């Protein structure tokens, strides 16, 4: 994630976050450079669960999109209403090709709604993206 947001990340108080829990907004950030409200989801696990993990990603994305598009964001955080939204997946390992393909399709579709979708690496050696040249961000 860009340095502009690091001081302004508000993790959910519940520690049961990540893709495995679609009911939790993992973190919220205010990107002062882009003006975006950043809804952050975490995937600290390796991408070893195949279809189960892909389904969890879909469920989490659906929850985040609903939060952003159905008025819940504006209702709960009126000071952020009307601002552009970025959904950011922070993952500890580079996503495998099926996940990258899925994210590319989602990115295209949510772009029509004015939502940006990015993928960032959590591991320090990745330097802020997954670092593989996979095109996931």
- Report the distance separating Cα 1 and Cα 115, nearest Å: 17
- Residue 131 belongs to a domain: no
- Report the distance separating Cα 22 and Cα 60, nearest Å: 4
- Residue 135 belongs to a domain: no
Q: How confident is the model at residue 122 (pLDDT cuts 50, 70, 90)?
A: low
- Residue 136 belongs to a domain: no
Domain span including residue 113: 3-126
- Report the distance separating Cα 34 and Cα 85, nearest Å: 10
Total domain count for the chain? 1
CATH no. for residue 62?
3.40.1350
How many other C-beta atoms are found inside a 10 Å radius of the C-beta of residue 105?
9
Whether residue 66 is predicted with pLDDT greater than 60 in this model: the reply is: yes
Torsion of CA 59, 98, 118, 120, to 10 degrees: 100
User: What is the pTM assigned to this prediction?
Assistant: 0.79
- Residue 105 belongs to a domain: yes
Q: Tell me the pLDDT tens digit for each residue of 71-116.
A: 999 999 999 999 999 999 999 999 999 999 999 999 999 999 999 9
Whether residue 4 is predicted with pLDDT greater than 90 in this model: the reply is: no
């Amino acid at each position: 994630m860009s340095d502009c947001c690091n001081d302004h990340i508000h993790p959910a108080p519940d520690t049961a976050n990540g893709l495995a829990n679609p009911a939790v907004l993992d973190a919220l950030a205010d990107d002062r450079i882009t003006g975006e409200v950043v809804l952050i989801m975490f995937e600290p696990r390796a991408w070893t669960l195949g279809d189960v993990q892909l389904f969890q990603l879909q469920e989490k994305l659906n929850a985040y999109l609903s939060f952003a598009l159905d008025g819940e964001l504006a209702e709960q955080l009126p000071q952020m209403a009307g601002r552009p939204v970025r959904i950011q997946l922070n993952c500890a390992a580079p996503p495998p090709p099926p996940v990258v393909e899925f994210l590319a399709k989602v990115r295209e579709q949510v772009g029509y709604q004015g939502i940006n979708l990015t993928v960032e690496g959590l591991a320090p050696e990745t330097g802020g993206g997954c670092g593989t040249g996979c095109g996931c961000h």
